[in-house]
């Protein structure tokens, strides 16, 4: 009988642990979504001509991307995004205006957003948060 009680207590403790792990993961996704919301201005692009010496290049542009709270995107310039969904802490899925999907890695460092699509050579875009 005592062993059965111990078994039940271990089961309950594991259940609570799993619950809190899932809750923490959900909060991390929510927090990541809230950090990407806002207006971002394109400042640099990353390019590699195939020699493995990728380099960030400053951009003089008025291209902006606005991540809205409701998952929609407003953009000026070349971005053809319609909406977004945060998939993981470092992956975002964009829906383009023609309804194609594009998964992009992203990272936020301070007030800089780095988007890194899947490319054969290194490529990416850096945006700075606009207040």
User: Contact 47/57 with Cβ under 8 angstroms?
Assistant: yes
Q: Specify if 103 maps to a domain.
A: yes
Which residue range(s) make up the domain with 96?
A: 37-130
CATH number at residue 81: 2.40.128.280
pLDDT score at 49: 77
Q: Specify if 80 maps to a domain.
A: yes
**Confidence class of residue 59 from pLDDT cuts 50, 70 and 90?**
very high
Q: Specify if 84 maps to a domain.
A: yes
Q: Specify if 16 maps to a domain.
A: no
Looking at every residue in the chain, the average pLDDT score rounds to: 80
**Confidence class of residue 71 from pLDDT cuts 50, 70 and 90?**
very high
Supply φ then ψ for residue 5, to 5 degrees. Answer: -65, -45
The set of residues, in sequence order, having a beta carbon less than 8 Å from that of 37 and lying 6+ positions away, is: 67, 68, 69
**Total domains in the fold of the chain:** 1
Q: Specify if 59 maps to a domain.
A: yes
Q: Specify if 29 maps to a domain.
A: no
How far apart, in Å, do the first and last CA atoms of the chain sit?
64
Q: Exposed, middle or buried, 10 (CB in 10 Å: 0-12/13-18/19+)?
A: exposed
Decide if pLDDT at 15 tops 90: no
Q: Specify if 48 maps to a domain.
A: yes
The set of residues, in sequence order, having a beta carbon less than 8 Å from that of 104 and lying 6+ positions away, is: 91, 92, 93, 94, 115, 116, 117, 118
Q: Specify if 4 maps to a domain.
A: no
Angle at alpha carbon of residue 127, lines to 125 and 128, rounded to 5°: 160
- Higher pLDDT: 6 or 94? It is 94
Torsion of CA 38, 106, 55, 112, to 10 degrees: 30
């Amino acid at each position: 009988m005592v062993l059965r009680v111990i078994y039940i207590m271990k089961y309950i403790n594991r259940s609570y642990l799993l619950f809190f792990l899932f809750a923490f993961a959900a909060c991390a996704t929510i927090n990541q979504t809230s950090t990407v919301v806002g207006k971002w201005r394109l400042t640099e692009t990353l390019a590699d001509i195939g020699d493995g010496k990728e380099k960030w290049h400053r951009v003089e542009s008025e291209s902006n991307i606005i991540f809205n709270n409701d998952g929609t995107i407003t953009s000026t310039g070349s971005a053809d995004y319609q909406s977004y969904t945060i998939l993981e802490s470092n992956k975002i899925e964009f829906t383009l205006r023609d309804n194609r999907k594009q998964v992009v890695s992203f990272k936020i460092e301070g007030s800089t957003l780095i988007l890194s699509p899947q490319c054969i050579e290194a490529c990416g875009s850096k945006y700075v948060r606009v207040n």
